[in-house]
Amino acid sequence: MRGYNEDEIADFARLTLDTPLHIRFIELMPINWSSGDDSGVGMADFFALSAMPGYLQNEKIAVYARADKNLTQVLKERSNEGQGMLDSAQMRRAFVPASEMRLRIEEELGELTPADLQTNGPASAFRLTRPDGLPAPGTVGFISQITKDVCRNCNRLRLTSDGQLRPCLMADGEADLRTPLRSGASDEEIAEIFRSVVVHKPFEHRLEDGIAPTGRNMSQLGG
């Protein structure tokens, strides 16, 4: 997040040079989106803006956008008040596209080359080269949920902290798993719930239509 921790991107990637870690960076997503917007530009407009060639998708962004110096305070205040984390104006200031993350890493640590790694999910994996010329034991991955369509590679379900099964992180639909589990449902009945959720998994998110999940933070949504 710009103005919060974007200066640590290369530091995390550096860990892969000596250890077999798989570091993943994910673009800021509108989870528990706040209804407020001090600029009058909504989420659909933000999503459309993020898809403009040369703005966020450019592989070699020459100038980093201005950091929002008050972002840390904004996050603290909204968290204390139980509000949605960011509105669209604040998200535009905080958003760091995967292309910029990659550029920051390459400027400091050298070229990232595609890794021969099956990620079984939406991440694109890359590998650095060590100073001795050997490939790094770890990998660096990017999940470009906003600037690149990764939905077709998504094979995820999410189990919330209160036992609801969600087919898509970016949609509000849920199936109650806790109640049947606590009521003694059979394995086949539980399996049928999973099958139903998978069948109803959206083909793609609808952020471009201004539709985003509300009411839950990532700590509640689970992985």
Q: Which helix (H) or strand (E) holds 103?
A: helix 98-109
DSSP state, residue 41: -
Q: Tell me the per-residue pLDDT of 40-73, one tens digit each, with 9 for 90 and over.
A: 445 555 555 554 444 443 333 333 333 344 445 5
What pLDDT does residue 222 have? 65
In angstroms, the CA 132 to CA 80 distance is 48
Split at pLDDT 50, 70, 90, the class of 223 is: low
Residue 6, C-beta contacts closer than 8 angstroms, at least 6 positions apart: 67, 96, 104
Residue 160 in tokens: 């919330």
Q: Tell me the per-residue pLDDT of 106-127, one tens digit each, with 9 for 90 and over.
A: 999 999 999 987 656 778 899 9
In angstroms, the CA 74 to CA 223 distance is 26
Span 177-182, average pLDDT: 95
**Predicted structure pTM score:** 0.65
In angstroms, the CA 197 to CA 164 distance is 11
Q: Where are the domains of the chain?
A: 6-152, 158-221
What are the φ/ψ torsions at residue 147 (nearest 5 degrees)? -90, -5
Q: Tell me the per-residue pLDDT of 182-207, one tens digit each, with 9 for 90 and over.
A: 999 999 999 999 999 998 888 777 66
**Residue 72 CA from chain centroid, whole number:** 19
SS3 4: coil
Closest CA to 65 of 74, 56, 75, 52: 56
Split at pLDDT 50, 70, 90, the class of 38 is: very low
What are the φ/ψ torsions at residue 125 (nearest 5 degrees)? -100, 140
> Is the predicted pLDDT of residue 93 greater than 80, yes or no?
no
What pLDDT does residue 62 have? 32
Contacts by 170-175 with C-beta closer than 8 Å and gap 24+?
170/29, 170/145, 170/202, 170/205, 170/206, 170/207, 170/212, 170/213, 171/202, 171/205, 171/206, 171/211, 171/213, 172/213, 172/214, 172/215, 173/200
Residue 5, C-beta contacts closer than 8 angstroms, at least 6 positions apart: none
DSSP state, residue 152: G
DSSP state, residue 8: G
Span 73-98, average pLDDT: 63
SS3 65: coil
Residue 55 in tokens: 């703005």
SS3 104: helix
Q: Determine contact, residues 98/142, Cβ cutoff 8 Å.
A: yes
What pLDDT does residue 142 have? 92
